[in-house]
Amino acid sequence: MQAPDDFNAPVGVTEELDEGLRRILAPNPSPMTYRGTNTYLLGDRDLAVVDPGPDSEAHLQAILEALRPGQRISHILVTHAHLDHSPLARRLSQVTDAPVLAYGDYRAGQSAVMAELAASGLAGGGEGVDALFNPDQCIADGEVIRGDGWQVQALWTPGHFGNHLSFTFGDVILTGDLVMSWASSLVSPPDGDLTDFMRSCERLADLPARRFHAGHGAPVENPQERLEWLLNHRRGRESQILDALSTAGATAATLAARIYTETPPALLPAAERNVFAHLVDLYGKNVVKIAEPLSFKAQFTLR
């Protein structure tokens, strides 16, 4: 269940979405970023910029040109430290003197098993990690950030990335790359952790949000329905993996080739990472076992 390809926001143009909430699409379309990164502006006078996006001079100018007379940028909020979300934060801060706020640097919030995989040399896939990212202020889970006439509450929602935050703004939630309408989120170890992803989705499902505004693509108009689909999609993928392992042990790459039979070759590496995320989750739940240290090339069998 992928959303229809009907999101065609103009690049670099400021669009009104909700009261006190505007969006600017960054010029970085790709298979991983869809049409590009959504940068959000919150407030009416002193503004918060959420996810400045990639290090793009054109996008920096688009953000600055979105300021109306009497407006200034007072806060820069970052959902997570992927290269399509965080790099422009530092340059924007230098221009505006606004502090950069996030959960922490690119290692913050990483689970113990993912930290161990990273230490073993496994590198993340997908959008790429902003290893230089370091916020001026770290935001705690549940912390409320207040500006001139606005406030958001930060929710630590790891899964797509260890330091991932979502932000509640009135009755909407800015969900970063955790929940999107155009595709299921990439969960690629060691950056992504499926155990955390499921827990974060379940947490959002308990909140009475009217709409989600995601890091890429169109707004999610039916949050509860989308969350239910995401959780069921992952549970279904787990069942496929367990069925495949019932006949013989396999690596993540072997399982991906068996399961993702209609996936274009260019996207198969992402599928392999996705399968590995499931295997790590199943290993943590003692459903599968390995006869060697945990790694991407490990052979998994059912317990």
Give the number of other CB atoms < 10 A from CB of residue 83: 21
Whole-angstrom distance, CA of residue 111 vs CA of residue 120: 14
Contacts of 227 (CB under 8 A, 6+ apart): 179, 201, 204, 205
Burial class (CB in 10 A: 0-12, 13-18, 19+), 196: buried
Contacts of 71 (CB under 8 A, 6+ apart): 44, 45, 46, 47
Angle in degrees, 0-180, between the axes of helices 252-259 and 268-284, rounded to the nearest 10: 120
Residue 265 is predicted with a pLDDT of 83
3-state DSSP assignment of residue 199? helix
Whole-angstrom distance, CA of residue 229 vs CA of residue 200: 14
Residue 269 is predicted with a pLDDT of 87
**Cβ 29 vs Cβ 38: under 8 Å:** no
Nearest to 201 by CA among 225, 235, 178, 170: 178
Whole-angstrom distance, CA of residue 254 vs CA of residue 268: 11
Regions of the chain with pLDDT less than 70: 1-5, 124-126
The alpha carbon of 37 is separated from its chain's Cα centroid by a whole number of angstroms, namely 11
Q: Which residue has the tokens 């929602």?
A: 157
Residue 1 is predicted with a pLDDT of 38
Taking only the tens place, the pLDDT of each residue in 25-43 is 999 999 889 999 999 999 9
pTM, full prediction: 0.95
